[in-house]
């Protein structure tokens, strides 16, 4: 994808980070003079509360972990802009650069000598009594979580309006490739290359051993119904509680029009990230 700032002298950037974490603020303050030497900082947001769609900027620099990047993607809404993540968290699949690496690559970023990968986003719509109750834009996953009293759920999955199956399980995750290394991975689901146009469907603790995660086309429409939910059965999007679910509620998940845009720098390949973040090794150590 073409860098929108590659032909301007000083790109316009916003800086985002969690203000409740002192380490984030101190690191931003340390790196801010370096950023400002080559770019115009139009806003610094410690609370992820600024109306980003109304701002004119070329690039968002997000300090923190992958959770901070998820907050930034929600904050940008339908007007997604390129994101450069600086990892001050733990794993950091999206926020992949250390502060030291950021200093090294910042001139290349400003000059446009980087790639921008576009990633699938989705719209999750909760239908209640024939009307739209809530609509959420997401990047990682939609999850149906059982909640107390923790009895097993029957969860119906429809694909393009056809009943695919009824899961007997503790919950269900419908994940994007970006989200495949998050909750989906912890639940035993597969890792998908982040640029694949696909969703992965992973049941949580299915009662039938033959039930396995399924990968399907992102252009299909997925609908979920829980006919007999527990009192606290919930719809969760990217870790954020959307609503508890009733027996007639219908959850619809489909590809979103905007795409999440992630700046990619030289030396940070897909398999290098997996190898380093997940501790993969080519041999067993004695």
Q: Across the beta sheet with 59-64, what order do the strands follow?
A: 40-45, 12-17, 59-64, 83-87, 260-264, 115-119
> Residue 124: what are its φ and ψ, rounded to 5°?
-110, 120
Torsion of CA 89, 94, 99, 101, to 10 degrees: 140
Closest CA to 155 of 231, 226, 253, 232: 226
Write the DSSP assignment of 137-158 as a string of letters: EESSEEEEE--TT---EEEEEE
Annotated active-site residue in 45, 58, 66, 238: 66
CA atoms within 13 A on the CB side of 107: 1
Clarify whether 66 is annotated catalytic.
Answer: yes
Closest CA to 248 of 231, 221, 226: 226
Angle at 153 between CA 137 and CA 218, to 5 degrees: 35
Give me the active site residues, please. 66
């Amino acid at each position: 994808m073409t860098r929108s700032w590659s032909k301007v002298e000083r790109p316009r950037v916003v800086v985002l980070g969690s203000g409740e974490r002192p380490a984030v603020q101190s690191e931003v303050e340390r790196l801010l003079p370096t950023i400002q030497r080559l770019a115009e900082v139009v806003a610094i947001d410690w609370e992820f509360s600024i109306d980003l769609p109304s701002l004119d900027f070329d690039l968002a620099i997000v300090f923190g972990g992958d959770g901070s990047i998820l907050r930034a993607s929600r904050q940008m809404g339908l007007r997604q802009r390129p994101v450069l993540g600086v990892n001050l968290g733990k794993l950091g699949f999206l926020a992949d650069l250390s502060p030291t690496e950021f200093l090294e690559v910042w001139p290349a970023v400003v000059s446009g000598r980087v790639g921008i990968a576009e990633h699938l986003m989705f719209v999750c719509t909760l239908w209640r009594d024939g009307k739209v109750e809530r609509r959420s834009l997401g990047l990682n996953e939609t999850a149906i979580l059982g909640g107390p009293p923790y009895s097993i759920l029957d969860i119906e999955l429809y694909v393009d309006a056809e009943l695919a199956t009824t899961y007997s399980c503790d919950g269900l995750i419908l994940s994007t490739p970006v989200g495949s290394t998050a909750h989906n991975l912890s639940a035993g689901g597969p890792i998908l290359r982040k640029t694949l146009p696909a969703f992965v469907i992973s049941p949580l603790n299915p009662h039938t051993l033959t039930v396995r995660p399924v990968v399907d086309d992102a252009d299909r429409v997925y609908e979920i119904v829980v006919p007999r939910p527990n009192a606290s059965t919930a719809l969760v999007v990217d870790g954020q509680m959307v609503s508890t679910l009733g027996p007639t509620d219908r959850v619809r998940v489909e590809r979103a029009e905007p795409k999440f845009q992630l700046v990619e720098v030289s030396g940070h390949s897909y398999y290098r990230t997996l190898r380093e973040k997940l501790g993969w090794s080519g041999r067993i150590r004695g």
